[in-house]
Chains A and B, each alone.
Chain A
Amino acid sequence: MENNHSHSISDKTYIFIWVSLLILTFLSVEASFVHFRAFAVGVALFIATAKAFIVAYYFMHLKFDSKIIGIMVLVTGIVFLTFIILTFFDYGFREPIV
């Protein structure tokens, strides 16, 4: 691969991405004051994941980097999600401690 990356993101796009991250931050703060009850954590994590995706895809350049890096990121994410889900198969079905 050549050293000069042929694809790059313009400064204007970076600023647009920054603004969208700020908007998502405010949305996440506002949403936390609305009582979604059981969904509150879900909403917070959904917005956080959207932000993390934007940072990884644009700022961390996954959009233009070689596909192999993107696949590695995906595998790491799946491994982590598997750990969380498997752990909850245990804790989620335990009798509550009184």
Chain B
Amino acid sequence: MNETITSHAVHRDDEASKIGMWLFLFTELLLFGGLFLVYTIYRHLNSAAFANAAGELSVLFGTINTIVLITSSLTIALSISAIKNNNAKRAKIMLWLTLIFALIFMINKYFEWSAKIHHGLFPGMEHFMSLPPGEGLFFLLYFFMTGLHAFHIIAGSIFIAVVIAQLNKSKITQDDYVLQENAGLYWHLVDVIWIYLFPLFYLIH
């Protein structure tokens, strides 16, 4: 970028930028959508086994992680309203809080997965292989879908870190914060996917 050109002289289309981000989010939605379809069919065919297997998951852990993600959605929304009010410092604090919540989510996930793997429930392990087929499917989908979601948490965190770096360099300002808005959109989408994963995996009794 040429620094001598002032921002109002550069051609910029924030709305197009956001629509581009949304188009990408739709591909993400359909990626998870395909997995939700697989889940729905297999649950329909193995409803008793799915209910049995879901009993192994901790409702408490799932609920805590849901609260953590919803709160991180709040902090990133507040960071955008801070930059709109020209408060870059507050925007950065809110983004750091979002990253801390992301870390808490991942630590919870680590303990949760460790416990399941310790019980031999990871696909391919001895206990997993001895499960009835329907329960095996449940754990396969559990590891794949929550794993893919956790991967999105990591990607979103990197995106947020980039936004913090741009704020530090004053490349994101009150007049030009569409990158931060797009990071927010991505983060909220990751939250929305979890909003569906939570009842479908943790709340079947």
Contacts and interface: CB of A to CB of B under 8 A. Distances in A.
Interface in B32-54: 33, 36-37, 40-41, 44-45
A3 B179 CA distance: 13
Taking residues whose C-beta sits less than 8 angstroms from the other chain, chain A's interface range is 35 or more
A17 to B, nearest CB: 8
A51 B175 contact: no
A29 B14 CA distance: 39
A59 B77 contact: yes
A3 B37 contact: no
A91 B176 contact: no
Per DSSP, are chain B's interface residues mostly helix, strand or loop, or mixed? helix
Interface string B89-101: 0000000000000
B19 A14 contact: no
B199 A8 contact: no
Taking residues whose C-beta sits less than 8 angstroms from the other chain, chain B's interface range is 35 or more
B146 interface: no
Per DSSP, are chain A's interface residues mostly helix, strand or loop, or mixed? helix
B199 A32 contact: yes
A32 B15 CA distance: 41
Contact of B74 (A14, A33, A48, A65): A14
A51 B14 contact: no
A18 B29 contact: no
Interface string B67-107: 10011011001100100100000000000000000000000
Contact of A65 (B18, B196, B205): B18
Contacts of A58: 77
Contacts of A59: 73-74, 77, 184, 188, 191
